[in-house]
């Protein structure tokens, strides 16, 4: 099951600052929503256990988050791979930072889901994923803006 997601977000911080935070594993680890366990392995890797819930379907997933190719302050890539409760997920995401009076972050993600959760179908999964991703970016943006 493949999903393609994309969106954009405006952040009231300079582009370099946004880039530094989005590529800082300690910052990412501290702003992960619904995390049951988080372990920063090194400057590019995080291991975590996340609780994912879609309606009545709840999965506890062990995931590895890895930073990929990046170019300060223009773009970055992030890979997530995990499994749990009979479902597997692989995410390849990319963000681009655009200059202006504020920073505009454009992001896209290709998500591959297999197992039990895939049975929900892409229509429902995409609808929940859009909602969830918005929540995640809202929470990350708030956390970034707090750092000043």
Partner 1 sequence: MNMSSEESPILILQALRKEGYLNLLLFGPYEIVMEEIFEESVKEVASTVGLKSEEISILEDADRAAEELLASEFERYVTRKYNPEIKEVLVKYNLLGAPIAREYGGRGARQIVESLMLERLGQVGLGVITLVDVHQCLGSLAVQEWGSEEQKKKYLPKAASGEILFAYGLTEPEAGSDPASLKTTYRKEGDGYRIKGSKYLISNGSVATHMIVFARSSDSGQISSFIVNTSEKGFSVEIRLEEKVGLFTSDTSMISLEDVFVPKEDMLHVEGKGMAVAYSALLNGRIGIGSGCLGVMEDCLKQAKERARNRVQHGKEIGKHQLIQRHIATIASNLEACRWLVYRAAMKKEEYDRNRSDVRLRAQADRLSAIAKYMASTLAFDSADRAMQVFGGFGYSILSPVAKHFLDTRVARIYEGTDEIMQLKIASLELGKDFEAYR
127 is a site residue for partner 1 (CB under 8 A): yes
DSSP state of 86: T
97 is a site residue for partner 1 (CB under 8 A): no
Binding track over 9-48 against partner 1, x by CB under 8 A: ----------------------------------------
d(CA 50, CA 94): 21
Nearer to partner 1, 41 or 116 (CB): 116
- Distances in Å between the Cα of 44 and the Cα atoms of 51, 52, 85, 87, 118 are 22, 23, 26, 25, 29
29, 37 in Cβ contact below 8 A? no
# residues contacting partner 1 (CB under 8 A): 15
5 is a site residue for partner 1 (CB under 8 A): no
| Matching residue, tokens 């680890």 | 29
Largest CA distance in the chain: 46
Minimum distance of partner 1 from residue 108's CB (angstroms): 18
β-bridge mates for residue 25, sequence order = none
Identified binder of partner 1 from the candidate list 8, 36, 58, 124, rule CB under 8 A: 124
58 is a site residue for partner 1 (CB under 8 A): no
Binding residues vs partner 1 (CB under 8 A): 1, 55-57, 116, 118-124, 127-128, 131
């Amino acid at each position: 099951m493949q999903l393609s997601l994309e969106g954009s977000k405006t952040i009231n911080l300079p582009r370099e600052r946004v880039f530094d935070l989005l590529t800082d594993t300690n910052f990412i680890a501290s702003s992960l929503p619904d995390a049951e366990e988080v372990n920063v392995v090194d400057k590019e890797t995080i291991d975590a256990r996340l609780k994912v819930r879609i309606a009545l379907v709840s999965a506890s997933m062990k995931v590895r988050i890895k930073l990929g190719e990046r170019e300060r302050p223009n773009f970055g890539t992030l890979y997530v791979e995990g499994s749990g409760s009979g479902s597997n997920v692989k995410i390849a995401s990319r963000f681009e930072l655009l200059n202006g009076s504020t920073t505009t972050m454009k992001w896209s993600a290709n998500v591959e889901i297999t197992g039990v959760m895939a049975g929900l179908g892409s229509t429902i999964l995409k609808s929940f994923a859009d909602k969830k991703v918005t929540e995640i970016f809202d929470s990350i943006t708030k956390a970034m803006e707090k750092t000043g």
